[in-house]
Structures are given as C-alpha cells and as structure tokens.
C-alpha cells in the first residue's frame, strides 16, 4: 500500500507542480503526506485527500477566472500566492498523515475517523476561503461581526459559510461510500469535525493570528514585506502565528474532536 501510495502521490504532485498548483517544496511534502495517507489510511483517507486537493485546486481556478473580471481585493493583503508551498501542504495534510500513522500503529478506528475529519476541516476551510472571496458584500469578523476588508483572516461571509459546510459535507459523504466501512455515525462525525475545524480556523485567525501593518503605506496585510516594498510590523495577535500555523491547529483540532467523539461513542 505504501508503494502504491507513493506512486499515486508522485504522479499527482508532479502534475500539480507542472500546472503551478504546488511549488517544488509543496510537491515534495505532498508526496510524503500522500504516501502516508494512502499507505496507512485504509484507502479511504487517500481518496479523501485527492478529493480535497482536486476540488480546492478546481475552485481556486474557477475563482481566479471570476476575479479577473472584478476587482482584485486581496493581492496586497494575503501572505502567499496561488501555488501551495510546503508549509501549506503540511498545515492542511500533516495532521491527516499523523492520524493515519497512529491508525496503522494502534489499529484503533478512532484515528482513521480523526484523519478523515482533519481532511474535512482542511476542505471546509479551503472551500470557505475560495467561495468567501466571491462575496459581493464585505465579510465580517467572526466574533465582533464588524465589517472588515475582503481577504482578512478570521472574517466570515454568508457564501463563505455555505462553502465551509459544503466542503466538510463533501468529504463526509465521500467517506460513507467506503465499502463495508462507511457508516452514518462516521459520516456525521467527519462532518461535525470538519465544520468544527473550519470554524476554529476563523476563530484562531481572528484572535491568535498575527496582524501586520505596512510602515510605509499603512495598509493592513499578512506579508512580512508588503507588496509596496515597505516593512511591516505586528499590530495584533501573537507574532509568529501565521496563516499556516492557524491552519495546522484548526485541522488538528477538527481531527482530534472527531477522534475523541468516536472513542466515547464506539470505544476503539
Ligand atoms: Zn505598503
């Protein structure tokens, strides 16, 4: 299974790198994550990983086509471009790889449920972000509900929230299809874990995540050096906690919540 996982991951990561969806380090880490998730995740986690990757890449492409006609709201706010790098791959897929390794080591099905839920959380967050960027009205801070500029971390919109639930549901329904293993309870916990992780992503993004401001032009941004060339300073949140850290925490929390719930309900 590991060898098959390695070959499938290599094929997909190489193709994604050639199309510009992954940077070089992004592709390398995608092979590591993919090999572990395919090799140790009972097959179904590998299917969920590919579904996450393909659907997010497709949504990103659609959104960029859409955005080309309207104003580009976020290029000077968002930290990174459209190719995913190694840290982004690890933040989204690392927890799933960890859960799948724990599943292989212990044989406890709760870890497989956790891995699937962490992928549902990653998918929920990505779909929410992609759809949220299409929102016509400005998003709101998840806790204060005040309007904030498009692209701000931790901001939510109606269409983004629909995207979040749909993203978690997509992975949850997919896991139901696994022959002999899919169950309504598992589907439900993957869905709830995914939504919880997606929600935590916004909460942590709005609270812990560092907010920076450009010293030259004064614009709020996630970049350590602003596109205008100015240096930036941390004005809110904890310095060093960036979008990737928040993403990793959120996918980990979504997976952990489902693991614990499965353990209490099923006992293994
Ligand atoms: Zn600036």
Chain Cα centroid distance, residue 218: 29
* CA of residue 74 to ligand 1 center, whole Å: 13
Q: What does the pLDDT read at residue 40?
A: 96
β partners of residue 140: 147, 156
Q: What is the pLDDT of residues 190-246, one digit of tens each?
A: 999 999 999 999 999 999 999 999 999 998 888 889 999 999 999 999 999 999 999
Q: What does the pLDDT read at residue 71?
A: 47
Q: What does the pLDDT read at residue 31?
A: 97
Q: Count of CB atoms within 10 A of residue 87's CB? A: 19
* CA of residue 231 to ligand 1 center, whole Å: 8
Helix, strand counts (H, E) of the chain: 8, 5
| pLDDT surpassing 50 at residue 10 | yes
With contact defined as beta carbons under 8 Å apart, do 154 and 209 qualify? yes
**Three-state SS at 225:** strand
Range scoring the smallest mean pLDDT among 71-85, 109-123, 139-153, 205-219 = 71-85
The whole-angstrom separation of Cα 33 and Cα 120 is 16
* CA of residue 223 to ligand 1 center, whole Å: 10
* CA of residue 256 to ligand 1 center, whole Å: 39
* CA of residue 240 to ligand 1 center, whole Å: 20
* CA of residue 139 to ligand 1 center, whole Å: 22
* CA of residue 115 to ligand 1 center, whole Å: 40
* CA of residue 214 to ligand 1 center, whole Å: 5
pTM: 0.91
Between the CA of residue 27 and those of 10, 15, 16, 62, 93, what are the distances in Å?
Answer: 8, 9, 8, 22, 12
Retrieve residue 215's tokens. Answer: 């010293």
Q: What does the pLDDT read at residue 168?
A: 98
Residue spans of beta strands (DSSP E) within the chain = 140-141, 155-156, 211-214, 220-221, 232-236
Give which of 207, 208, 190, 209 is closest to 254, Cα–Cα.
Answer: 190
Q: What does the pLDDT read at residue 67?
A: 58
Q: Where are the domains of the chain?
A: 2-266
* CA of residue 227 to ligand 1 center, whole Å: 6
With contact defined as beta carbons under 8 Å apart, do 190 and 174 qualify? no
Q: What does the pLDDT read at residue 22?
A: 93
* CA of residue 87 to ligand 1 center, whole Å: 25
Between the CA of residue 258 and those of 32, 127, 222, 254, what are the distances in Å?
Answer: 24, 20, 31, 7
The whole-angstrom separation of Cα 183 and Cα 173 is 10
* CA of residue 224 to ligand 1 center, whole Å: 10
pLDDT over 70 for what percent of the chain? 96
* CA of residue 68 to ligand 1 center, whole Å: 23
Q: What is the pLDDT of residues 130-141, one digit of tens each?
A: 999 888 899 999
Q: What does the pLDDT read at residue 68?
A: 55
* CA of residue 181 to ligand 1 center, whole Å: 52
Q: What does the pLDDT read at residue 151?
A: 76
Calculate Rg over the CA atoms of the chain.
18
């Amino acid at each position: 299974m590991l060898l098959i996982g390695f070959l499938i991951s290599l094929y997909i990561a190489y193709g994604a790198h050639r199309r510009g969806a992954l940077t070089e380090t992004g592709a390398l880490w995608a092979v590591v994550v993919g090999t572990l998730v395919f090799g140790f995740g009972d097959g179904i986690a590998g299917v969920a990983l590919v579904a996450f990757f393909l659907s997010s890449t497709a949504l990103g492409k659609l959104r960029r086509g859409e955005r080309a006609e309207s104003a580009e709201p976020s290029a000077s706010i968002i930290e990174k471009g459209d190719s995913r790098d190694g840290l982004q791959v690890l933040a989204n897929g690392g927890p799933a790889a960890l859960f799948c390794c724990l599943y292989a080591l212990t044989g406890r099905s709760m870890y497989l449920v956790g891995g699937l839920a962490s992928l549902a959380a990653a998918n929920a967050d990505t779909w929410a972000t992609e759809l949220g960027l299409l929102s016509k009205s400005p998003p709101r801070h998840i806790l204060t509900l005040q309007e904030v500029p498009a692209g701000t971390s931790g901001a939510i919109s109606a269409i983004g929230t629909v995207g979040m639930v749909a993203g978690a549901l997509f992975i949850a329904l997919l896991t139901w299809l696994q022959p002999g293993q899919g169950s309504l309870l598992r589907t439900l916990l993957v869905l709830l874990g995914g939504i919880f992780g997606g929600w935590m992503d916004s909460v942590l993004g709005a609270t812990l995540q560092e907010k920076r401001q450009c010293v030259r032009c004064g614009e709020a941004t996630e970049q350590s050096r602003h596109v205008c060339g100015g240096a930036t300073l941390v004005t809110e949140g904890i310095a060093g906690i960036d979008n990737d850290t928040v993403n990793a925490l959120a996918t980990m929390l979504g997976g952990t919540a489902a693991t614990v719930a499965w353990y209490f309900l099923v006992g293994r």
